């Protein structure tokens, strides 16, 4: 009997400071005046730290976190980000070679170039795409794939971080060598091992929750598109497909598909949403797999959300950032109107506020509340369930709900200082 792998969850927020009130973390004027120049601020998930890449002199760069500087400095630093577990990671260069620095400590090996950082759900695994000797692959927690390829892209990491994948080129071909190209030169490599079958093209490999299966979009001829799972294609092809998605309930795979000029949804190659939409993509399952959502366009240039194939009535010229409540029964998304103003729609109802910019909605753990960061009158602020916080801020980050859903943490810069503030929902 094979023991089932456990689902990897994001780090718990229960150990964070949820005491009501505002806490000043750092003076950002000090950060901006101490150095020749600084880059974009990054803040930790718990709100206790703020960091940025800083030019510390000459051709040297470092990271400043809450006023402390990484030592020694580097020649270049980019993609500075906090992992879900709160560690601060960046791609760094020294002597024209690249590696990863985590809280100032570097991986032991260097590479010709690094890019495209990925984190496991719990943040314990950090993976990057790497180029070494003009071949490409993935490095996970400092350990590279045993095999690198002539070309690799569309990198992916399983939720647990145990497995990684990429679209790779396994057959060389000269310019304009269309016969070799059409015979299939690309496939998906999982942990550095290519699938047994090649394709004309492949895109967007994705893992199931346990990381044991991999699916991707593939093109089997110049005109036929389908989904391949562990190298085996659906029995049916379509005029077009989008990103596949594994169901958490039964490991089946769904993907938007195009037939007769319209888009619908297929499961394991069988159409489950009839192709009646001008567009259909960005599908998401509820955690139990019982409900399937997607962004759809019932009319040309008019987008909305659909639940199990039934579209909402509220439509916008642009809809993005589909987010589900933890239970999967509610959905929210951003809509951009004809005046290029953004708003949030929840349960087929748009909020009244319109903004030059808005960011992805955030649901409370109980699914009862929705909060979002927005830009308003040249400043930033927060909106909770359609109610705006009156204060304008110099910068802000996504709001975070407490585990019990009764509080919300706001992270922002005001008057040249970075703060974290915890507010009771009822007093927002």
Query: What pLDDT sits at residue 10?
Result: 86
Indicate if the pLDDT at residue 390 is higher than 90.
no
Given a cut of 70, whether residue 284 has pLDDT beyond it is yes
If you average pLDDT over residues 289-310, what whole number do you get? 98
Both tokens assigned to 51? 């960091």
Extract the tokens encoding 223.
């005109």
Mean pLDDT of 237-266: 97
pLDDT of residue 161: 97
pLDDT reported for residue 3: 38
The whole-number average pLDDT for the span 219-236 is 97
Give the pLDDT of residue 428.
93
Average pLDDT taken over every residue of the chain: 95
Between 59 and 237, residue with greater pLDDT = 237
Position 2 pLDDT exceeds 70: no
The pLDDT of 79-108, averaged and rounded, is 97
- Name the residue among 364, 362, 380 with its Cα closest to residue 372: 362
Determine what percent of the chain is predicted with pLDDT higher than 70. Answer: 98
Q: What is the pLDDT of residues 34-75, one digit of tens each?
A: 888 899 999 999 999 999 999 998 889 999 999 899 999 999
CA atoms within 13 A on the CB side of 160: 12
pLDDT value at 1 more than 70 = no
Q: Give the model's confidence band at 8: pLDDT under 50 very low, under 70 low, under 90 confident, else very high.
A: confident
Q: If we measure between CA atoms, which residue out of 193, 201, 235 comes closest to residue 217?
A: 201
Q: Is this structure's pTM higher than 0.85? A: yes
Q: What is the pLDDT of residues 136-182, one digit of tens each?
A: 999 999 999 999 999 999 999 999 999 999 999 999 999 999 999 99
Cα–Cα distance, 22 to 409 (Å, whole number): 10
**pLDDT tens figures, 321-352:** 999 999 999 999 999 999 999 999 999 999 99
- Asked if residue 256 lies in contact with residue 281, where contact means CB atoms within 8 angstroms, the answer is yes
Question: What number is the average pLDDT over the span 382-409?
Answer: 96
Q: Are 122 and 95 in contact (CB under 8 A)?
A: no
């Amino acid at each position: 009997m094979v023991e089932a792998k456990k689902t990897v969850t994001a780090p718990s927020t229960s150990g964070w400071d949820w005491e009501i009130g505002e806490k000043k973390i750092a003076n950002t004027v000090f950060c901006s005046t101490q150095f020749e120049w600084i880059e974009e601020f990054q803040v930790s998930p718990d709100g206790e730290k703020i960091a940025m890449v800083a030019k510390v002199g000459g051709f040297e760069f470092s990271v400043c976190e809450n006023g402390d500087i990484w030592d020694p400095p580097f020649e270049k630093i980019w993609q500075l980000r906090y992992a879900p577990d709160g560690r601060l990671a960046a791609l760094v260069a020294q002597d024209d070679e690249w590696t990863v620095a985590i809280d100032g400590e570097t991986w032991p090996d260097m590479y010709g170039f690094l890019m495209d950082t990925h984190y496991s759900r719990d943040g314990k695994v950090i993976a990057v795409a790497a180029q070494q000797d003009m071949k490409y692959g993935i490095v996970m927690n400092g350990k590279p794939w045993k095999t690198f390829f002539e070309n690799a892209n569309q990198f992916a990491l399983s939720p647990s971080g145990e497995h990684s994948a990429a679209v790779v080129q396994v057959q060389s071909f000269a310019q304009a060598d269309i016969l070799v190209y059409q015979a299939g030169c690309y496939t998906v490599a999982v942990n550095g091992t290519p699938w047994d079958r090649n394709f004309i093209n492949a895109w967007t490999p994705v893992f199931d929750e346990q990381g044991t299966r991999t699916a991707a979009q593939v093109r089997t001829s110049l005109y036929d598109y389908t989904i391949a799972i562990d190298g085996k294609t659906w029995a049916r092809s379509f005029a077009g497909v989008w990103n596949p998605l594994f169901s958490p309930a039964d490991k089946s795979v769904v993907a938007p598909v195009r037939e007769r000029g319209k888009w619908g949804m297929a499961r394991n190659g069988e159409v489950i949403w009839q192709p009646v939409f001008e567009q259909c993509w960005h599908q998401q399952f509820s955690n139990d797999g019982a409900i399937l959502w997607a962004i759809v366009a019932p009319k040309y240039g008019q987008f909305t959300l659909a639940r199990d194939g039934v579209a909402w009535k509220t439509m916008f010229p642009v809809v993005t950032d589909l987010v589900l409540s933890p239970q999967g029964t509610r959905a929210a998304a951003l809509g951009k109107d004809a005046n290029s103003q953004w708003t949030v729609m929840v349960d087929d109802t748009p909020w009244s506020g319109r903004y030059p910019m808005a960011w992805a909605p955030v649901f409370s753990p109980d699914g009862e509340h929705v909060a979002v960061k927005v830009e308003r009158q040249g400043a930033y602020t927060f909106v909770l369930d359609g109610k705006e916080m009156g204060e304008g801020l110099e910068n802000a980050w996504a709001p975070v709900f407490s585990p019990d859903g009764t509080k919300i943490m706001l992270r922002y810069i005001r008057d040249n200082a970075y703060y974290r503030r915890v507010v009771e929902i009822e007093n927002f």
